[in-house]
Amino acid sequence: MATNKTFTVAGVSTNKGVTKVRFANDFVARIKILDKNGHTDVNLKEFDKAMTKAEICKTLISDPDFQGEAAQGAISEFVVRNCKDMAPKKASPVSDTADMETQVDVELETA
């Protein structure tokens, strides 16, 4: 992510069938804007301290209020697209195969 901006409000909302993560610094103003633009299923949370988008996503992904399928999908998609340092690392196919072969060899030796 190219920016280190911080936010005190974040959550998810759905517009035209698409759920996305939303960030802001003014809870009331953000609710008004989302409502004016026809957003539904608005679920925002205000934080005690300002955080980056990556920090917020890390918090929201485990927050009990954001465990629904749409919310989890939106947060995960945002992380994959925008938070390269947080996204799960993909192992190379060669190392996966080597690890599997090693594990099979160990299991055969102990049998």
Residue 3's pLDDT band (cuts 50, 70, 90): low
| Predicted pLDDT at 107 | 46
pLDDT of residue 104 exceeding 50, the answer is no
Task: With 0.85 as the threshold, say if the pTM is over it.
Answer: no
* Cα gap 22→15, rounded to integer Å: 11
Task: List phi, psi (to 5°) of 50.
Answer: -70, 140
Q: Return the residue matching tokens 């069938």.
A: 17
User: What would the pLDDT profile of 30-88 be if each residue is shown by its tens digit?
Assistant: 999 999 999 999 999 999 999 999 999 999 999 999 999 999 999 999 999 988 766 55
Structural contact between residues 24 and 10, judged by C-beta atoms closer than 8 angstroms: yes
Three-state SS for the chain is CCCCCCEEEEEEEEECCEEEEEEECCHHHHHHHHHHCCCEEEEEEEEEEEECHHHHHHHHCCCHHHCCHHHHHHHHHHHHHHCCCCCCCCCCHHHHHHHHHHHHHHHHHHC
| Predicted pLDDT at 110 | 44
Sign of the Cα pseudo-torsion (18, 82, 2, 48, in order): positive
Domain ranges of the chain: 7-110
